Amino acid sequence: MLRRHFLLASAALFALPAHAQTAWETVLAEAKGQTVYWHAWGGDPKINDFIAWVGEQAQARHGVAVAHVKLASTADAVTQVLAERDAGITTGGAVDLIWINGENFAAMKDAGLLFGPFATGLPNWGLVDVAGKPAVVTDFTLPTDGYESPWAMAQLVFEYDAARLPQPPQTLAALKDWIIANPGRFTYPQPPDYLGTTFLKQVAYGTLADPSVLQMPVDDASYAAKVAPMWAWLDQITPALWRAGKAYPQNEPALGQLLADAEVDFGFAFNPGRASAEIAAGHLPDTMRTFTLEGGTIGNASFVAIPFNAAHQAGAQVVANLLLDPEVQARAQDPNVLGFQTVLNLSSLDTSSRARFDALDLGVATLAPADLGPALLEPHASWMVRIAQDWIERYGVAQ
């Protein structure tokens, strides 16, 4: 509905002169001179720099300015849009573009707070590797339906210092043995933190008798029996965790800091290039390496979405499309910049675009795409909610 209104309005404004414009040209024309307020997590200066660079590109190529609204949590932007809706603001909203995925997307889509569908109409959509990377259209088992556009792939990798730990464990069982043999040297971010919950899901993949149930909504009747092996695994390692499980790091950067401070021997990250990038920046020793577990690790995509009441929806679409540009994608994959995995199908690119990716030096700690192993699909969002909730009851409140 909104999409139709938008097109009608655009048509009324721009199509009245008799020359024919494609829908995208209309968007470009409307976007020119707009300032897109991109609400994105602002906790990492490298990401902030990248967004600033994207803004320069948008300005140079399309005359669209980008203002990065740095958030402590993506949910702040959701709250903002919700507050606007509650206040009756249906146009001219403050949020134009949100870096989003998972729960936040599910909540906004469900509440009808999103503009779209727009993603599949973007000119660069054809370059996206939908077949090879199903996570670009399935966000935590929820079909994106074009209400968000992907811009980066992520896959869980484990980080370790090869100087301290020559042979890291490659399976969940071996990891458990290692943790128990080395008390105080392993931890994970405290659920419901995103990365912490991802670790729990990884444990679920490795311990559940039939991991395929994770792709369906939680079935209340069989839930307890199905996840019992996961809790058993966690019960065994918890006394041997960092601080004996009495405290947990809050999030991915906090865990990364513990690894840098040598308080723990393992970090993990959704960005396979994080370790290399941190080495390049001089924040981690160059003996850091990464590995994934046998059988694969969880992978997902990062998206951008546009609120239903965004003031600059045309500009926001232009930025979403720009993010899928091969030059921008190659820059994001450069470990000296971000080290994010591309969402594009490299074989569909022309030679010069392809060359940009081939020229990248992924860095000493980054696994080649072939060595990453399979990317396991994210479980249904109801699992994340349920497991995080139960985790809080089991481990989240001091006894």
Partner 1 sequence: MIMAGLLRQAPRITLALLTVPVLAGLAGTVIPAFANDAKGIQALLQWPGLPRAAGISLVTGLGSAALSLAITLLPVASLWGTRAFAAVQHLLAPLLSVPHAAAALGLAFLIAPSGWIARVLSPWATGWTQPPDLLLLNDPFGLALTLGLVAKEVPFLFLMALAALPQTDAARRMQVAQSLGAGRVASFAVSVLPSLYRQLRLPFYAVLAYSMTAVEMAMILGPTRPYTLSAQVVIWMADPQLTGRATAAAGALVQVGLVLGALGLWHLAERLAKSALIGLAHRGMRGQGADGPANVIAALLGGLIGGGLVFGLAGLALWSFAGLWSFPDAVPASLNLNTWTRAAPDLAQTATLTLGIAALATLLALALVLACLEAEHRFDLVPGAGALWVLYLPLLVPQVAFLPGVQVAALRAGMAGHWLAVAAAHLVFVLPYLFLSLAPAYRAWDRRIAVAGAALGATPARVFWHLRLPMLLRPVLTASAVGLAVSVGQYLPTLLVGGGRVETLTTEAVALASGGNRRLIGAYALLQMLLPALGFACALLLPAWAFRHRRGMAVAA
Residues that bind partner 1 (CB under 8 A): 37, 39, 41-45, 49, 67, 69-80, 82-84, 86-89, 94-95, 103-104, 106-107, 111, 183-185, 190, 242-244, 246-248, 250-251, 253-254, 256-258, 260-263, 281-285, 385, 392-393, 395-398
Task: Considering the complex, state which of residue 296 and residue 315 has its C-beta at the smaller distance from partner 1.
Answer: 315
Task: Considering the complex, state which of residue 78 and residue 376 has its C-beta at the smaller distance from partner 1.
Answer: 78
Cα gap 235→229, rounded to integer Å: 10
Task: Considering the complex, state which of residue 42 and residue 373 has its C-beta at the smaller distance from partner 1.
Answer: 42
Min dist CB 88 to partner 1, Å, is 7
Cα gap 385→133, rounded to integer Å: 24
Tell me how long the chain is.
Answer: 399
Side chain identity, residue 338: L
Min dist CB 40 to partner 1, Å, is 10
How many Cβ atoms sit within 10 Å of the Cβ of residue 287? 14
Cα gap 93→192, rounded to integer Å: 29
Min dist CB 330 to partner 1, Å, is 22
Task: Considering the complex, state which of residue 95 and residue 323 has its C-beta at the smaller distance from partner 1.
Answer: 95
Decide if 188 contacts 248 (C-beta within 8 A).
Answer: yes
List of E strands, 324-386: 375-376
Cα gap 277→221, rounded to integer Å: 45
Unique residue bearing structure tokens 């723990």: 264
Min dist CB 2 to partner 1, Å, is 20
Side chain identity, residue 4: R
Side chain identity, residue 202: Q
Angle at 266 between CA 262 and CA 272, to 5 degrees: 120
Task: Considering the complex, state which of residue 87 and residue 370 has its C-beta at the smaller distance from partner 1.
Answer: 87
Task: Considering the complex, state which of residue 293 and residue 338 has its C-beta at the smaller distance from partner 1.
Answer: 338
How many Cβ atoms sit within 10 Å of the Cβ of residue 123? 13
Min dist CB 381 to partner 1, Å, is 10
Min dist CB 168 to partner 1, Å, is 17
